[in-house]
Amino acid sequence: MGGEARVVVVSNRTPAVFTPSSVEERRNLPVGGLVSCLRPFLEAQGGIWLGWDGNSDAQVDSVPTSITDVEGISLASVSLSRDEVEGFYNVFANRTLWPIFHSFPDKATFSHDSYRVYRDVNRKYAESLLALLRPGDLVWVHDFHLFPLGLELRKLGWKGKIGFFLHIPFPPSEIFGIMPWARELLTCLFDYDLVGLQTPKYLHDLKESLVDGLGAVVDGDTAHYQGSTIRLRSFPVGADVQAFREMAQSQVGTSVSRFLDVLPKDRQLLLGVDRLDYTKGIVQRMQAIEQLLDDHPELRGHVTLVQISAPSRVTIPEYARERERLDSLVGKINGKFGEVHWLPIHTLHRPYSQRDLALLYREADTCLVTPLRDGMNLVAKEFVASQTSDPGVLVLSRFCGAAESMHDALKVNPYDFQETASAIYRALTMDRPERQRRWKALYEDVNRHTAHDWCYSFLSALGDA
Ligand code: F6P
């Protein structure tokens, strides 16, 4: 990485809000993989992290200035008005880009007004960012909320390095091209020096869009368009492996550890940990559990699924509908198979701390990571990191970035609940030597690509770009 360069990270929002009294409260919220992989690096190395403060009551033209130092990271805030949050975050980011990038075009909304707000808000982020920058800083922009940020920063005169990393999948070019703004979004990428994606597959799909959609010339890991050149590479995001290993070994008197203490010895624990999002395949996972209990009555009373589904984007209709579908299906399955002393599924609609999750990962006999589509999925890697000498088994969707390297998981098509049910059965009945062999291979992969490695490799490539 380039010598003494400061790292300035920008993402839609940061892990904590900025009034001292509420920092702790927000710190415990798992806001997804982006925060889990960036926070340990910035806490260790220092740096500035700029993002939305999570409120929606700012005056449209308010100038964001506040900075709070939290464990070595300087957190700087962007304030947004109600209309900005609606157009930028709720509609364009989460109801247009999110479904398109996850290959759910039928769930996408197209509104020119919201696109305008998206562009304006990106300009606002750029203005806040410019006020923080010093010559020589490395600017690292994260995720789909901020495609045009590099372009806006260049318009304001910034000449230094800017990198962009996309945490979510990049869709096949025929799906990406559905968006009326596809060409403009691709053009925005040419104001970055380096563009990173999670996997070689998404890199391939981006290159195809650049060629098909824009007529750019792609030559190995560079793309050229109208006199500008960018470098393109895949950088698979990793977990904070050491931290999860340590947390998994510590015994603490939380409600989770008490639950684990009273779990009957003849009861196997299945675990799911997700944001409550339709891309995560939670409803399909429940259908697989129903199938499992239909096919194997001998398991009734002997398996419990703990499904943590942290509420997410709750004001967006698709998310509210997903919650209703989930609650109704879980009610049906628990009513069908449950007994007074046993329920097959516990759904918990709230976030849990990483410490609690590490304990659950350690104790789980099988972890179900079955998204319909996912950029990487760090739950899969954190589960592997937290295992001990009697490891559990990972059941993993073929359609997430993690599946490209985690070959020793039991891979499933999450849309096929019969296949998923069979894989869960195989996981629950797998002998210890096979579990150990599979875990060892998975651990080698997870430990080779940690969160720290990901940050260093991206930033050193940006420094060299
Ligand atoms: O990983 C995708 C992502 O949108 C991240 O950018 C974000 O940190 C996380 O999911 C949670 O999303 P939100 O901030 O919308 O709750």
pLDDT in tens, 343-386: 999 999 998 888 999 999 999 999 999 999 999 999 999 999 99
- Is residue 76 within 8 A of residue 143, CB to CB? The reply is no
Query: Using a 6 Å cutoff on CB, does residue 13 contact ligand 1?
Result: yes
Average pLDDT over the chain reads 92
Choose among 288, 256, 236, 197: nearest CA to 386.
256
Q: Which of 34, 38, 96, 273 is the best mutation target for the ligand 1 pocket, counting ligand atoms within 8 Å of the beta carbon and taking the most?
A: 34
**Partners of 274 in beta bridges:** 309
Choose among 41, 43, 28, 34: nearest CA to 12.
34
Whose CA is closest to atom 9 on ligand 1? 32
Residue 167 is among the residues annotated as catalytic for this protein: yes
Mean pLDDT confidence for 76-82 = 92
Task: Say what the pTM is.
Answer: 0.95
Confidence of residue 395 (pLDDT cuts 50, 70, 90): very high
- Kindly give the number of the ligand 1 atom that is closest to the alpha carbon of 35: 8
DSSP 38-96: HHHHHHHH-EEEEEE-S-----TTPPP--EEEETTEEEEEE---HHHIIIIIIIIIIII
**How many angstroms separate the alpha carbon of residue 33 from the centre of ligand 1?**
8
Helix runs in 133-240, H state only: 149-155, 173-176, 182-188, 200-209
- CA–CA separation, 28 vs 32, rounded Å? 12
- Kindly give the number of the ligand 1 atom that is closest to the alpha carbon of 89: 15
> CB-based burial of residue 23 (10 Å sphere; 0-12 exposed, 13-18 middle, 19+ buried)?
middle
Angle between helix axes 33-45 and 451-464 (nearest 10 degrees) is: 70
- CA–CA separation, 147 vs 185, rounded Å? 7
- Is residue 191 within 8 A of residue 150, CB to CB? The reply is yes
Task: Give the three-state DSSP class for 107.
Answer: helix
- CA–CA separation, 439 vs 297, rounded Å? 28
In this predicted structure, which of 48-62, 166-180, 363-377 has the lowest mean pLDDT?
48-62
Mean pLDDT confidence for 144-155 = 98
- Kindly give the number of the ligand 1 atom that is closest to the alpha carbon of 375: 1
**Encoded tokens for 258:** 């008490």
- Is residue 382 within 8 A of residue 239, CB to CB? The reply is yes
Q: What is the pLDDT of residue 61?
A: 56
**Encoded tokens for 156:** 């304001």
Query: Using a 6 Å cutoff on CB, does residue 373 contact ligand 1?
Result: no
Token pair 């710190």 in the structure block, residue: 27
Q: What is the pLDDT of residue 60?
A: 53
Residue 374 is among the residues annotated as catalytic for this protein: yes
Q: How do beta strands 366-369 and 67-70 pair?
A: unpaired
DSSP 416-431: -HHHHHHHHHHHHT--
- Is residue 143 within 8 A of residue 375, CB to CB? The reply is no
- CA–CA separation, 217 vs 211, rounded Å? 6
Q: What is the pLDDT of residue 24?
A: 43
- CA–CA separation, 182 vs 173, rounded Å? 10
- Is residue 455 within 8 A of residue 41, CB to CB? The reply is yes
**How many angstroms separate the alpha carbon of residue 30 from the centre of ligand 1?**
10
Residue 30 has pLDDT above 80, yes or no: no
Residue 164 has pLDDT above 50, yes or no: yes
**How many angstroms separate the alpha carbon of residue 31 from the centre of ligand 1?**
6
Q: Which of 29, 143, 273, 316 is the best mutation target for the ligand 1 pocket, counting ligand atoms within 8 Å of the beta carbon and taking the most?
A: 143
Query: Using a 6 Å cutoff on CB, does residue 32 contact ligand 1?
Result: yes
Query: Using a 6 Å cutoff on CB, does residue 285 contact ligand 1?
Result: no
**How many angstroms separate the alpha carbon of residue 34 from the centre of ligand 1?**
7
Query: Using a 6 Å cutoff on CB, does residue 198 contact ligand 1?
Result: no
**Partners of 376 in beta bridges:** none
Cα 6 to chain center, whole Å? Answer: 25
